[in-house]
Structure formats: structure tokens, C-alpha cells
Amino acid sequence: MKLHKEGNTIIPGFVIGVIGIYLLLVWLIPLGIFKLVLGGISAIFLFFVVAFFRVPNIQVPVGDDLVIAPAEGKVVVIEKVMVDEFLEEERTQVSIFMSPLNVHINRAPVSGRINYYRYHPGKYLVAWHPKSSTANERTSICFETSNGVRVFMRQIAGAIARRIAFYKEVDDKVSATDEVGFIRFGSRVDIFLPLEAKLNVKIGDKTTGGETIIAHLR
């Protein structure tokens, strides 16, 4: 299993910490059954930490009009909203909630050029809270396709997420599904689509980052 670079410093720290706590507790409570139970719990915890940083293989759909899911998770919001930042127009918002069990790589939803980026400090409300899109720590990115269609995206920190990474810069060119960022641990990504876009998902749908078709642009 390939692991993401964001885990290069996190995973060794967790391994050392879990092993240290395990040895300390075994020394304090030297019971055979306790050692087995604690060893099992420690192994499961480490497995989930490592799995969080996994990099899956994806099958990228082909099509110039496609908006592809930027993240793995669950569609929790689909609604018409006013985007006051940069675009200043009504858009269809599609929000994907990522639990700690999901892959947290963020990908470009369309091919084109990044023509806007801004980091916003903020709160750490739970990621499914209605106000998290505008109140939480977040980044805002706008992708413009070769046809001039703009797709706006936000990376939003959740209640336990404390780091949002974005790897690109304004004027960088990207292809759909290129890796553009990462959030840890538990978070949300919002996509703001032109009103005329034809949606391909509904609330409750599960998405696979880089594979699921969110919408067709017109």
C-alpha cells in the first residue's frame, strides 16, 4: 500500500507514542490478558492511522464536460447559494463530508488554470455544520477551464482537523483529478458549480475522489 507524504512525520510519531504507552502500561499492570487486549487495541489504532494516509489507485473518467469528485466521502449538501467571495454570483453547492476513515487527498475537479486562491483562518465547527463553509478555517480555490467555465472549491477544516494543505499556486495549470491538497483528520470539501450544470449525485451518495462524476458542465 502506497502512503501519502503527509504521513511521513505523523506515522512514525504515532508508532513511537503507541509503543511507548503500551510498554508503560504493561510495566504498570503486568497481567497476561491485559497485555493481549492492550496489544490488540494498539495494533488496530495504528492500522487506522496508517490507513488514513493511504493513496488508492483510481480509474479516472474521460470527458471534457465532467466535474469529478475532489474527495472521498459522502454528499451532505446540495443547494443553491450566493458565493460572495470572488465569483459574487449564485451557484449550486455540493458538499462532501470526509470522515477519518476516508482518503483525505483533495483533487482538482476539472482541468484548467487556478485563477484564485485564498486561505481563511476560522473556527473548528463539526464539518457538517451549516456554518462550517464560511466560519471554519478554510481555503478557497477557483479553477477556470479552457472554455472559461469557473468551478469554485473550498477545503474546510473540521472539529478535529488542524491542517489544510494546498500544493498549487495561482496561474498553475492542472488536469482533472490532479492532487492539489490534503486535510487531516475529518473535514469537508465544497464545490460551487454553475447553475446550468447537470448534477450527477444526490444527498447521501458516496463519492470516490478522482472517480465519481459530480456533474456535467453545459
pLDDT in tens, the chain (218 residues): 687 777 677 778 777 877 777 777 777 777 677 777 777 777 787 777 777 778 888 989 988 899 999 999 999 999 999 999 999 999 999 999 988 888 889 999 999 999 999 999 877 666 556 666 667 789 999 999 999 999 999 999 876 656 788 999 999 999 999 999 998 766 889 999 999 999 999 999 999 999 999 999 98
What residues contact residue 217 under an 8 Å CB cut-off, 6+ apart?
A: 65, 66, 67, 110, 145, 147, 149, 193, 194, 197
Other CB atoms within 10 A of residue 133 CB: 19
Q: So which residues are the catalytic ones?
A: 187
Place of cell 476516508: 102
| Residue 27 confidence (pLDDT) | 73
| Residue 18 confidence (pLDDT) | 74
**Residue ranges of the domains in the chain?**
7-52, 66-216
pTM of the model: 0.84
Say how far apart CA 7 and CA 104 lie, in whole Å.
Answer: 11
Give me 196's grid cell.
446550468
Enter the CATH code of domain 66-216: 2.70.70.10
Residue of 40, 24, 167, 49 whose CA lies nearest to 105: 167
What DSSP state is assigned to residue 120?
Answer: E
